[in-house]
Amino acid sequence: MLNNYLKIYWLGNLVLLLNIILILFLLSYRFMHFAKFPIREIKVIGQYQHLDEDQVSMISDRFVKGNFFSLDLYSTKEAFTKLPWIRNVSLRRVWPDRLEVFVEEHQAIGRWGAIALVNENGEIFHGASDEDLPLFFGPEGTESYIALEYKKMQSILDKKQLKIAQVSLSSRYTWDIRTTNNMKIILSKDNIEENLNRFMSQYDNILASVKRIGSADLRYPNGFAIKKSTEPIQKIDSGERPLI
């Protein structure tokens, strides 16, 4: 008799507990999905130049649905990430009615042919820009390598105020560099910085001699070959064949 009483007692408590849990769940669900607690402000944080108010408003209208609790952060993040200039984004709710959007934009350093832009990490993205950027050409999969070497080469050329207009990398990893003053620089895949620094160390002396450099072949192990814009090749410091 006592055992039956205890069973009924514990069963009653269990049913009561389940009812309380169900009620709390329904109340919390209704609380979280109630029309109150709307997102009233979207604050974009970070250094950006290409994200404008119209884009933020479009995402707000199309993707910021629900309230502070029910907002789908994943869909909202995806919407921001699909904007052409956005490289990375993270979201955070701030009580009681604000959504903070932390953005990182691509920093374009060049154009991948005529189809896309390249950021400083060598990643291709399809943004629009009227900025005067160098052109990059190379085999598929070499974007990061070209971006890295471009930054190194431009840093060296900066010593003589030379700017790269185009970088081409062949399938044999031979570099064809064109500067904005129409000078062509040829490099092999080996000792790129060493050979370019050696050329820059003699740049002023070469200009004093030829006035205008048409091309500079730096594939020689101990020197380089210079061609004046309208004259045959003049070899400097080496008579060896270039290393290809």
The model's pLDDT over 153-169, given as tens digits with 9 standing for 90+, comes to 999 999 999 999 999 99
1-10, 40-49, 91-100, range with the lowest pLDDT: 1-10
* pLDDT given for residue 1 in this prediction: 56
Q: What is the pTM of this model?
A: 0.77
Q: Evaluate if residue 99 carries a pLDDT over 60.
A: yes
**SS3 track for 43-107:** EEECCCCCCCHHHHHHHHHHHCCCECCCCCHHHHHHHHHCCCCEEEEEEEEECCCEEEEEEEECC
Select 108-236's CATH number: 3.30.230.70, 3.20.10.10, 3.40.50.11690, 3.40.50.450: 3.40.50.11690
Q: Which CATH number fits domain 41-105: 2.30.30.40, 3.90.105.10, 3.10.20.310, 1.10.10.1100?
A: 3.10.20.310
Comparing 238 with 1, the larger pLDDT belongs to 1
Question: Is the model's pLDDT at 189 over the cut of 50?
Answer: yes
DSSP-derived secondary structure letter, 158: G
The answer on pLDDT for 231 being more than 90 is: no
Predicted confidence at residue 70, as pLDDT, reads: 87
